[in-house]
Amino acid sequence: MNGQVSDTKMCIFFIFILSTLEICQSLAPRNVYTNHWAVRIAGGQEEADKLAAKYGYNNYGQIGSLEDHYHFHHSRVVRRAAFSTRGAHSFIQMDPKVDWVQQQLVKQRVKRYIKSDTRSPDPNFIHFNDPKWSNMWYIHCTDKNNRCRSEMNILAAWQRGYTGKNVVVTILDDGIERNHPDLAQNYDQLASYDVNGNDHDPTPRYDSSNENKHGTRCAGEVAAVANNSHCIVGIAYNARIGGIRMLDGDVTDVVEAKSLGVRPDYIDIYSASWGPDDDGKTVDGPGPLAKQAFEMGIKKGRKGLGSIFVWASGNGGRQGDHCSCDGYTNSIYTISISSTTENGNKPWYLEVCSSTLATTYSSGEFYDRKIVTTDLRQRCTDGHTGTSVSAPMVAGVIALTLEANPLVSWRDIQHLLVKTSRPVHLKANDWKTNAAGHRVSHLYGFGLVDAEGMVVEAKKWRSVPTQHTCTRISWETVRPHYHNAVYIPWCTEQAEQHVSYVEHVVVKVLVVHPRRGDLEVSLISPSGTRSQLLAKRLFDNSNEGFRNWEFMTVHCWGERAEGQWILEIIDNPSSLRNPEVLGKLKEWTLVLYGTSGHPYQSHGTQHSRSRMLKIPTPSRDPNGECGDQGCDGPDPDHCLNCIHYSLGSLKTGRTCVSHCPLGFYDNLEARRCRRCHKGCERCVGRTPTECRSCRRGLYFNPLNTTCSETCPAGYFADDSKSSGVA
């Protein structure tokens, strides 16, 4: 106890004299204090509440089953300080009613690792001297409470040698502090521009409130220099980083278009953590110039491979906002990223929608940890929050991916994210498996990003075939509360627009309506996957309806295109309007984006179902230790612990696969591929009605989603699709 106190004193002393945290940490590595206290008070909850209020704490209640022990929290204390809090807070210690009090310390990670799950990479395998390294929980993910249970596998990607070398990222924001000691070395003048000031210096404008700190915070997450004894380590710590200063002034279509189009042949990745108001009533997106800038970027950027635009999905959760009303996140050209808390809970700010592709860790409730990163005025902060955190994290992960394979296209990157992101412990009540076998949710897209999965897949990736587009317009005028179906055999027949396998699906609607917030819109794919394109919005009183607004879903990714696509619009008249006045759907357009052949079978085997049924054999890495598909154990042929899924039985030998083959579905809990019901090619479970497509010779019955040799009454057999058709 005495030793601890003197360490603490020393620590304060050195901070004062030298203002460096490193010395502090090296002298007292175990003392990282939080703003949480344990307090022992006799006399029950009421007495504890009184004392908490008296000294300015919140009482979180009894600590587990320990009688008379309470968890107190003080919001005005610096979180995760390297010193114990003295002053006013020590008065509680002197209160005669308080038996005992202890400020809570963060346990050192090295020690926790030893006790923790051996599957987590050792955070000290790579040791960085950056003082905030130990606070970067979302990277090393070891914790005594195991709150951050699943890895984004960033350490593992680094261990494979990928750190972002030769990849150029820029941050579209309020500027970046280019001489920040943790950014200067990676700062790239050619990836920077000041659109607001119309010059080449993106340095933020300084004011007393540090209003323009956002861009600098995002930049550090991507490419803060590693092992320079300063602040943090960026996810792509050897990438080049620039900044486009464009938010500190009037933002216009011109400003946006300029910003999105800065040096598309030089800049690989554009990260944007901004968008229209997340107030739950705005419907807004890119103007005509910005739309063109996106299209130019994906067509011409990166010498034709396509610029990568990463977007934060929005922070309007508390306002009941829905990210489908944000035209930037809704665009097929942007990679829209959501956030989850360290516990895998839905953060209060999260916006739900079907265009979100993947997720990273970020902040949550006040007691959840936030993100540490570079801050304005050469500082470092541990208070970076919201989905703003998530876009730059993914920009960093994509930088690692582009280093692994610089030839992947903008669509390849989206395919890679779909393939490798995982639901793991992220909690949502809407996880579903689509007909292509991908687990997907409106909160998290395809799940938590997996940096190692990205670099491993990218390394052996073959570019997906050309993108095709199929557009179908329906002019029928219908009242809401109506299922309107479009049957699409058409897309697969016209050679020009042949789409068999779906990527993005866009639904453009023209709706007149007295109160837009009352509408719910869903799209149901031929395989039965339901995407919610819009949920009710409490604050949206607009009578403007939707004027050719484009909703987008990625939930049908990999599914077959042909069949019946159903648009469902439900009108729930709120008390705020005259229920007699109804809306109308005047027109809607379905646009399917995708490929004519199977995206991952670019060698002419896409029509051969029997070949697709072959169970892939995992390749080995040169050391012979690990299945390439991720066995975490010594014997990949009898692997007990696969990173993704295991296939086969213990008796016949298990192999590890990153995705279950046709004829199998992934059982997430057991991390195993299990066999579909007899005759099913794709399924979401074992029972006959959980089929989503059938093996050759059988027909898919859309009425009860089973496979059989004959079609039900009212349907004829369409042999080209092995599916019953109405």
Ligand X SMILES: *[C@@H]1O[C@H](CO)[C@@H](O)[C@H](O)[C@H]1NC(C)=O
The residues in 197-236 that bind ligand X, with binding defined as CB under 6 A, are: 227
Smallest separation (angstroms) from ligand X to the CB of 667: 21
Smallest separation (angstroms) from ligand X to the CB of 2: 31
Cβ-proximal residues to 114 (8 Å cutoff; 6+ apart), any chain: none
Q: Beta strands 69-73 and 58-62: pairing type?
A: antiparallel
How would you list the strands of the sheet with 655-657, edge to edge? 655-657, 645-647, 672-675, 664-667
Report the residue number whose CB is nearest to ligand X: 712
Q: What angle do CA 624, 625, 630 make, to 5 degrees?
A: 110
Smallest separation (angstroms) from ligand X to the CB of 131: 12
Cβ closest to ligand X, residue 287 vs residue 712: 712
Smallest separation (angstroms) from ligand X to the CB of 158: 9
The residues in 84-143 that bind ligand X, with binding defined as CB under 6 A, are: 126-129
Cβ closest to ligand X, residue 629 vs residue 701: 701
The residues in 611-650 that bind ligand X, with binding defined as CB under 6 A, are: none
Cβ closest to ligand X, residue 102 vs residue 689: 689
Cβ closest to ligand X, residue 160 vs residue 536: 160
Cβ closest to ligand X, residue 145 vs residue 689: 689
Q: Which of 90, 118, 704, 720 binds ligand X (CB under 6 A)?
A: 704
Q: In whole angstroms, give the CA distance from residue 505 to residue 604.
A: 25
Cβ closest to ligand X, residue 6 vs residue 227: 227
Smallest separation (angstroms) from ligand X to the CB of 16: 25
Q: In whole angstroms, give the CA distance from residue 644 to residue 625.
A: 17
Nearest to 286 by CA among 321, 307, 257: 257
Q: In whole angstroms, give the CA distance from residue 96 to residue 119.
A: 48
Cβ closest to ligand X, residue 184 vs residue 538: 184
Provide the annotated active-site residues. Answer: 173, 214, 388
Smallest separation (angstroms) from ligand X to the CB of 425: 29
- Which two three-digit tokens encode residue 293? 């800038």
Smallest separation (angstroms) from ligand X to the CB of 686: 12
106-113, Cβ contacts within 8 angstroms, sequence gap of 24 or more:
106/32, 106/33, 106/34, 106/80, 107/30, 107/144, 108/29, 108/30, 108/32, 108/134, 109/134, 109/140, 109/142, 112/142, 112/143, 112/144, 113/142
Binding status of residue 706 toward ligand X by CB under 6 A: yes
Nearest to 229 by CA among 108, 372, 132: 132
Cβ closest to ligand X, residue 126 vs residue 615: 126
Annotate 423-480 with DSSP letters as a single string.
Answer: -TT---TT-EE-TTS-EEBTTTBT-B--HHHHHHHHHT--PPPPPEEEEEEE---B-S
Q: Which of 5, 114, 670, 703 binds ligand X (CB under 6 A)?
A: 703
DSSP element (H, E) containing 49:
helix 44-54
Cβ closest to ligand X, residue 451 vs residue 585: 451
Q: In whole angstroms, give the CA distance from residue 423 to residue 414.
A: 16
**Per-residue x/- mask for ligand X, residues 411 to 450, rule CB under 6 A?**
----------------------------------------
Smallest separation (angstroms) from ligand X to the CB of 378: 20
Smallest separation (angstroms) from ligand X to the CB of 677: 9
**Total residues in contact with ligand X, by rule CB under 6 A:** 12
DSSP element (H, E) containing 70:
strand 69-73
Annotate 590-636 with DSSP letters as a single string.
Answer: EEEEEESS-TT-TTS-TT-HHHHTSPPPPPB-TTSSSBTTTB-SS-G
Binding status of residue 249 toward ligand X by CB under 6 A: no
Report the 3 state secondary structure along 178-234: CCCCCCHHHECHHHCEECCCCECCCCCCCCCCCHHHHHHHHHHHHHCCCCCCCCCCC
- Which two three-digit tokens encode residue 643? 């990173």
Q: What angle do CA 630, 632, 634 make, to 5 degrees?
A: 115
| CA distance readout (Å), 167 to 154, 171, 397, 462 | 17, 14, 11, 20
What backbone phi and psi angles, to 5 degrees, belong to 4?
Answer: -65, -45
Using CA of residue 232, residue 237, residue 242, residue 245, what is the dihedral sign?
Answer: negative
DSSP element (H, E) containing 173:
strand 168-173
What backbone phi and psi angles, to 5 degrees, belong to 724?
Answer: -75, 135
Q: Which of 379, 685, 712, 726 binds ligand X (CB under 6 A)?
A: 712
Smallest separation (angstroms) from ligand X to the CB of 712: 3
Q: In whole angstroms, give the CA distance from residue 411 to residue 8.
A: 53
Cβ closest to ligand X, residue 126 vs residue 538: 126
Torsion of CA 561, 563, 564, 565, to 10 degrees: 0
Smallest separation (angstroms) from ligand X to the CB of 706: 4
The residues in 682-701 that bind ligand X, with binding defined as CB under 6 A, are: 688-689, 701
Cβ closest to ligand X, residue 10 vs residue 126: 126
Binding positions for ligand X, rule: CB under 6 A: 126-129, 227, 688-689, 701, 703-704, 706, 712
